[in-house]
Amino acid sequence: MKVLRTICTILFGAAVLLFFGLAYPHHLHYQEQFQLFLFDCAYVWDIVKLPGGVADLLGRFCTQFFLYAWIGALIIAVLLMAVQLLTLRLINSKTGQGAKVSGGLLYGLSFVPSFLLWLFLLDENALLGGVWAVLLTLLAAWLFDALPRNWLWRVLIFVAIPVLYWMVGPVCLLFFLLQAVSVEKWITRTVPVNQGTVHVTRVSVILLLLMPVILAYYLPVPSSNLCFGIHYHRYPTAIPIVLWLAVLAVFILVLIARALQNHGDRQNHGDRLPDSGQNQKPVPVIPSSYLLPLASFVVVAAVMGSIVWKNSNFKAEKVMKYDFMARYQQWNRILETINTDRPNNQIGVTVQNLALGMRGLLTQHLFDYNQNGLLGLLPDIGTDATSPMPTAEAFYQLGMITVAQRTVFEAQEAILDFQKSGRCYKRLAQTNLILGHYEVARKYLTALKKTLFYRDWANETLPLLGDEKAIAKHPEYGRLRQMAYKENFFFGDHVTSDMLQRLFLSNTDNHLAYEYLKAYYMLTGDRENYTKLQLQYPEQ
């Protein structure tokens, strides 16, 4: 039976790994780019000083590895496998003599909380701290199950109220409910229950429910966040319903396990043979075999797996893929992608046109692909944190450095949970270096030195600050500095032909600006200016 359980758990983990590694990798990249994990005491303290801070810190620490999708997929797979194993342990600890039951039907159901957490993580704004909160709560419940119900247990229960709440947030309610299930008299009537223990669990649940109300007077956090979690979801006002369904699923499974134990204990201890001092043989509630747990696992995996697949947002995954390729300037890969799966959304079209321009193919093949008017060339800057990033990449490659800097900065400030971004910090360091704002660039590079995956780049870039000759020789920064605007002028929210013309005339070697200017005339039907430009600069 143990071998079968191990195989099923490994199969589940492999499914999670393959899903996030193959079908959902750019959702992981999306998560990574909207945080900046620093190995810094002040940064850590700012996180852990709020309720749920420990789970949030662990979630952010793991999310930084999402820069590499397969490592992120492996982390998620391990976490969800751990949740399933702890759920099964708690079920087994509640069934006692009826452990065979949990090895049957309840074994398959032990995967339900993990599948719900998988479903929770399909949301690109769901944070890994929520999964860590559930895992730490289950781990605490499992450790407390091994303690005898004596005075020490009662003391630790009251100590656990503030400690667990501060570590994982309101999800810790599950821990106290599980402790209540293990001692409540109405669950198991065959074993005497210490009334003091029952009162302790009831009081602890009540105190925990009152804690958010009390803390609302002392913390600058809305009471709704204290009740439903601060760091479970990127939207501050959102209630992560699926996460709470996973918590509820664990509680319901444990209740079922205890009910089956109660029923089995009555059959085993209450029925005796007439005129005999011997007890009857125990009658199992549900027959257990290798087939039953396997069948329950297959049914749960099929049902929950189909739900996960149907709720996967592959359209968003496609958009995130284009943004990811633009971020790492994978122009050839973009061209290969648009030839097989042409984009029909604003971000995809923006990246498509940028890749065509970088390869000198924009005006030649402009109408061979889907276009969104001028919005597909250089869209208006949105107020969210996602859509401006490809546009900022186009501004950067064109040499519109100040505009790119403003766009990236505003995108970072639009991150919903007020975090900073490693991607944005890197680009802001680059733009300030190109513009000659070296002290500002140093601020961003100093912060990036405290990260795991941006540290090497920051150390390589710091010596460039103030070194004009080195910057001029740099293949990227020197070229973009020469291509930048040479005079100041008012820049509106909408890119116009005059802005592109000024950019091109400031450096006629800027072939990308030439391509974009011609494409602008083509999309607006301005034949006169298109012809004039082509006649004046035919070699471009």
The average pLDDT across 342-351 equals 91
How far apart CA 517 and CA 536 sit, in angstroms, is: 13
How far apart CA 512 and CA 398 sit, in angstroms, is: 6
How far apart CA 285 and CA 267 sit, in angstroms, is: 9
The DSSP secondary structure of 462-476, one letter per residue, reads: GGGTT-HHHHHHSTT
Give residue 177's pLDDT band: very low, low, confident or very high (50, 70, 90): confident
Nearest to 304 by CA among 137, 444, 530, 108: 108
Distances (CA, A) of 533 to 322, 500, 506, 526: 31, 12, 15, 11
Q: What is the pLDDT of residues 417-471, one digit of tens each?
A: 889 999 999 999 999 999 999 999 999 999 999 999 999 999 999 999 999 999 9
Distances (CA, A) of 362 to 123, 357, 523: 35, 5, 12
pLDDT at 191 > cutoff 50: no
How far apart CA 535 and CA 62 sit, in angstroms, is: 56
Give residue 152's pLDDT band: very low, low, confident or very high (50, 70, 90): confident
Q: Which amino acid is at 20?
A: F
Nearest to 487 by CA among 501, 502, 477: 502
pLDDT at 144 > cutoff 70: yes
Q: Which amino acid is at 70?
A: W
How far apart CA 119 and CA 126 sit, in angstroms, is: 10
Beta strands in 179-280 (DSSP E): none
Task: For Cα atoms 20, 230, 228, give the angle at the middle one, nearest 5 degrees.
Answer: 95
Q: Please tell me what DSSP assigns to residue 290.
A: S
The average pLDDT across 126-132 equals 96
Distances (CA, A) of 83 to 142, 219, 305: 11, 31, 17
Q: What is the 3-state secondary structure (H, E, C) of 148-162?
A: CCCHHHHHHHHHHHH
Distances (CA, A) of 448 to 47, 417, 427, 442: 18, 20, 11, 10
Give residue 376's pLDDT band: very low, low, confident or very high (50, 70, 90): confident
Q: What is the 3-state secondary structure (H, E, C) of 20-65?
A: HHHHCHHHHHHHHHCCCCCCCHHHHHHHHCCCCHHHHHHHHHHHHH
Q: What is the pLDDT of residues 95-122, one digit of tens each?
A: 544 444 445 678 899 999 999 999 999 9
Q: Which amino acid is at 389?
A: M
Percent of the chain topping pLDDT 90: 58
